[in-house]
Amino acid sequence: MRLLLGLLAALIATTTLPSAASATGNPVRETAWVETGTDHDHDGKPDRVAADVVRPATGGRVPVILDVSPYYACCGRGNESQKKTYAPDGTPEQFPLFYDNYFVPRGYAVVLADVGGTNRSSGCFDDVANGNAVVNWLNGRAKAFDAPEGGRPVQADWATGDVGAIGKSQDGATAIGMAASGLPGLKTIVPIEGVADNYAQLIANGAPLATPEHTGSAFTYNDRAAELCKPFEADLKARMGTNGDYNAYWRSVNYMPRPVRASVLIAQGFGDGAVAPNQFAAYWDALGRAGVPRKAWLSQAGHVDPFDLQRARWVETLGRWFDRWLKGVRNGVEHEPAVHLETAPDRWTDVRSWPPATTPVTVRASADGGLGPRGSGTATVVDDPAVGREDWAAGVSAARFTGAPSTSAVRIAGSPSVTITASADQTAARIGVALVDYGPAEVRTTANYGSGIKNLTTTSCWGVSFPGDSACFLDTATDLVGADHQIVAYGSADLGHHASLRHGEPLVPGRAYTMTFTLTALDHVVPAGHRLGLLLGGTDGLLFDPDLPAPGATLTFDLARTSLTLGLTKPEH
C-alpha cells in the first residue's frame, strides 16, 4: 500500500515523507520500503523491507532505535501482544511497546521493520540481512521507496546514522546477528532473551529438537510469501540437514565467534525455557574475551522483558544506555556494575561481573540413589518420549540420585557440565540430564515454560500517548508458587554424537560411549536443608517435538564413569 494519497504525493517535492500530523507538532509517522539487494521470493523484483518510522517533527538529525521483527502482524510484541496498526492511507499508527512513546520525545526516531515476507514486506525470511539493509538505508548506503512497488526514492536525511537494535526473542536474535556483521552505524544492541547460536537453539548436542517442518519461521509469513517462499524454505531446511550434525549452515548462523563492534546490553531469565540461558552465558563470555562494552540484566523469570520485571529501573537503564552509545553522552553507564542480578524472587543486587569466582566441585551417582564424591554401579532407564524432566523429578522414567541435606546455603553459578558414560540396546539414543534442588520454597512459576509474572488490572504510562498509540501498559507482578523441588539446569544430547558434533554415528548396541556436554546456565542458591538431585533419562518430553521418531532405547548408565561438575560459591548478601 502506498503511504500517501496520489494528490498529496504530487504536491510534495522533498524526498522525505512528512505525515499530516507533523503540522500539529505530533511526531512524523511514515513508511519506507528498503531494498535488500535480493530476490528471495523469485518474483523478478528486488525484495523490499517495510520500515515503519516515527520521529520528531522538528529539529536536526536524530539517532535511531530499531526493532526488526517477523511478529508485527501475526503474533504481536510485548506482554500484551500488540500489533502494528495503520490509518486508511497506510500511515502507521500503533507502534507496539513503549519505545516510540518514551524515546521520540527525547530526541530519537524509532523504526520497526518487518522481516522479509512478513506483514508488509516482500521477499522471504532473511532477518539479519533485512535489518542490515535498514541500517544501510539510515546511513545512505541503501535505496528505499515510498511504496512496496515502484514509488519515489526516500532518503533518511533526518537520521544521524547511529543505530541501536533492540528486541526480544527472535528480534533479539536478529540484533545479535546484525552486530556480528560488523555493520558500520550499528552502535549498540539490546537483545532480550535472544539467540546467539542457532544450532544450540534447535539441536541439543546432535539431537534435533523438532521435525524439519517445525524449525522455520514460515508461520509468520504473509499470504503472498507463504506461497512464493516455499522454495526458499525448502533450500533452508536442506542446508540445515536432519542428522543433527554441526555443518556449514550452522556455522554461518553461530554469531558467538565473530568480532562485534557494537556495545551490548543483554537481558536473560534463568527460568527461560524458550531461549535457554546457556545462550546468554556463552555469548556473554565471548563478549568479555573480545573486550566489548557490555551490561546484563539477569532474572529468575522465564521468557520475560525486563520492562515487566522492574519497569522504572529498566526504562531508566535503557535511556542512559542509548544516550551513551547513540548520543555520545558521557553518563558513566558503562563504568557502573555490569550485572543487575535477581538472586531470589524480587531480590536484586548489582555485581561487577558474572559468573562469580567459583570452586569447581564434581559429584557422582551411586546405584543406591546417593550423590556424592564417588560413583558406583549402573542405572537402567527405558526411554519414554511422552514424559519430560518435571516427570523425571517425580521419579518417572528416569534414574534419580540425591545428595545429603546441605548444612548451609550454597550458590551454584555458571554452566555445569556432565560427563555421561552409557550404552543403549538400539543404534540411536537420546540422553537427558537435569539438576534439581529438592526442598520447599516459593519460586517463580517458570516450570513447564511459565513466565514467572502475571498481569494486573492497573496500568502505568511511559512516555507520551498519541491517537491510536497509547503509552500505557498493564502492570505486572511476580507470580509465585509453592514447590517441593525446582529444576535449575538441564541438557540433552544424541549419544551418537559422542565423539564430535560435526559427525554422528550409529551406536553399537551394548557398547558404552562417553560424552561430555554443558547444561543450561544458572545462578541459584540452594538453601540449607535442601538436597541436590541429579536426574538421568532419555528423551526430555518438554524439549523434543513429539512428532520426531522415538529411538525407544533402553539406556544403561555406568555411574562410576558418569559425573556432574558444578561451580560453587557463597550466596550474595
Local confidence pLDDT in tens for the 573 residues of the chain: 222 222 222 222 223 333 333 333 589 999 999 999 999 999 999 999 999 999 999 889 999 999 999 999 999 999 999 999 999 999 999 999 999 999 999 999 999 999 999 999 999 999 999 999 999 999 999 999 999 999 999 999 999 999 999 999 999 999 999 999 999 999 999 999 999 999 999 999 999 999 877 777 889 999 999 999 999 999 999 999 999 999 999 999 999 978 899 999 999 999 999 999 999 999 999 999 999 999 999 999 999 999 999 999 999 999 999 999 999 999 999 999 999 999 999 999 999 999 999 999 999 999 999 999 999 999 999 999 999 999 999 989 999 999 999 999 999 999 999 999 999 999 999 999 999 999 999 999 999 999 999 999 999 999 999 999 999 999 999 999 999 999 999 999 999 999 999 999 999 999 999 999 999 999 999 999 999 999 999 999 999 999 999 888 999 999 999 999 999 999 976
Instruction: List the grid coordinates of 261.
Output: 563492534
CATH number listed for the domain at residues 359-569:
2.60.120.260
Whose CA is closest to 121, among 27, 180, 45, 214?
45
- C-alpha cell belonging to residue 355: 559468573
pTM of the prediction? 0.94
User: Which of the listed CATH numbers 1.20.910.10, 3.40.50.1820, 3.90.340.10, 3.90.1170.50 matches domain 6-351?
Assistant: 3.40.50.1820
Residue pair 4/89 in contact (Cβ under 8 Å)? The answer is yes
Q: What is the pLDDT of residue 25?
A: 58
Residue (of 364, 363, 367) closest to 556 by Cα position: 367
What is the distance between the alpha carbons of residues 274 and 451, in angstroms, rounded to a whole number? 10
| Radius of gyration, alpha carbons of the chain | 25
- Kindly report the length of the chain: 573
Domain boundary assignment for the chain:
6-351, 359-569
Pair 253, 199: CB distance under 8 Å? yes
Report the alpha-carbon distance of residue 438 to residue 402 in Å, rounded. Answer: 8
Residue-level pLDDT at 429: 98
CA distance 54 to 104: 7
- The whole-number pLDDT of residue 264 equals 98
List the grid coordinates of 404.
545429603
3-state secondary structure of 350: strand
CA distance to 196, 357, 566, per residue, from 411 (Å): 26, 11, 10
pLDDT of 258: 85
**Residue 41 phi/psi, 5° resolution?**
-90, 0
Position 217 scores a pLDDT of 81
pLDDT of residue 211: 81
Residues identified as active-site: 169, 272, 303
